[in-house]
Amino acid sequence: MVFEWSKGEEKHYRTQFLGASNAQIFVTLAPRQVSESGRHHLCLSKFSLVVIQPAFGEGGGHLIPSIQSEVTSRALAFDDSSRMHKWMNGYTLKDRIRNEHIREKVGVAPVEEPNNPEGGDQPEDSYSVWALPPSDIKDRLKSLMSALRSEFGGPAFDPHITVVGDFRLRRDEAISRFHSAVATLKPYTARIAGVAYGTFFYQCVYLLIHPSPEVVETSSHCCGHLGYKRSTPYMPHVSLIYGDLSDEEKERARKRAEEIDESVCGLTFEVSSLALCKTDTLDKTTESWEMVELCDLTTKDFA
C-alpha cells in the first residue's frame, strides 16, 4: 500500500518496505521516485527510515526520528544490508551474529555478483607498463639510485621509464592487453635530458627523458590498448628516488645526482624490453611490486 500526503505544493509518498516483529520500516519517496502505477523504485539516491513502535493500529505508537542516508543505486539492495537486518531484530555488534544467519532469519538472499567467465574470481589489481634500459645502463642507474637512497632514504626499485601509469585490471586481462599492445612495437631510442624533481612521492627526484616522437607514440599506443586515459600530458622520466622530501632536500638530491654521475645527462640508450608490472601505489615500500610479464621487443619473446 502507498500512502500519499501533501506538503505545500509537493506530494510525498510512503510505503511499507520491510517489517520485523515489533517495528515497521517505511521508505519515504519523492514524487519522481514513484512510478505512475504507484510502485516505488528500488534504485533510489535517498531514502528515509521511519520506525514506529508498536505498529499502526495498536494505538500509542512512539515515533522514532527519521534517519537520512545517502546511497548509490546498487547500495539500496536491502538483501545485502546485514547491519540493518541486525538492528531490526534487536542485535548489536556485541552479539556477533553472522550475516548469513541474520539473512536467513529475515528471509532474504545475499546479493550475488553477475557471472564473469572471462575474469573468473580474479580481483582487479594495479598495474603499470615500464620501459627497461639495457643491462649496462641499468647497472649504472642502480648505482646512482643506491647512492642517493643512502643519503635521502626511500624504497628500492628497478630503474625504468613509466610507459603507462597506474591502471586497474584483472591479471589475465592485463596480460592479454599487454601482449596485444607490444605485438607491433619495435625497439626505440631514449635520451636523458636532465635531472629534475616533482611534487609528490612517486615523482620525487628523477631523470627527464626527451619526449621524442618514438617515446611519446609508444606510450600513447600502449595506453590505448590498456584503456588508460591520461589526465595530464605525458612526461617520460626515470625516477631516482621515491619520497616525501622538502623542496630544499629535493634540490640537494638533484645536485647530488649530477655530482655522482656527471655525464648522466645526455646519456642515450636503446629500449628493447617492456614489462608489465603489478604496482600497488598504496604500498610505498614497493615490497609487493612484481614483474608479471617481460617482452623482448626484438624477438617478441615473453618471460
Instruction: Name the pairing type of β-strands 273-278 and 62-70.
Output: unpaired
- Count CB neighbours of 165 within 10 A: 20
Instruction: Name the packing angle between helices 213-226 and 171-182 (round to 10°).
Output: 140
How many angstroms separate the CA atoms of 60 and 76, rounded? 31
Look up residue 47 and give its three cell numbers.
531514502
Q: What strands lie across the sheet with 10-19, from one edge to the other?
A: 2-7, 10-19, 24-29, 46-53, 62-70
How many angstroms separate the CA atoms of 117 and 171, rounded? 14
How many angstroms separate the CA atoms of 140 and 17, rounded? 68
Catalytic residue flag (residue 41): no
Opening angle at CA 178, ends 239 and 137, nearest 5: 35
Cα torsion 295, 299, 301, 303: sign: negative
Q: By three-state DSSP, how is residue 268 classified? A: strand
Look up residue 22 and give its three cell numbers.
515489533
How many angstroms separate the CA atoms of 110 and 101, rounded? 11
From 160, 179, 210, 225, active-site residue: 160
Catalytic residue flag (residue 237): yes
Q: For 120, which DSSP code?
A: T
Residue written as grid cell 618514438: 214
How many angstroms separate the CA atoms of 128 and 80, rounded? 34
How many angstroms separate the CA atoms of 74 and 213, rounded? 44
CA 40 to chain CA mean position, Å: 33
From 40, 62, 85, 237, active-site residue: 237
Q: Which positions are annotated as active-site residues? A: 160, 237
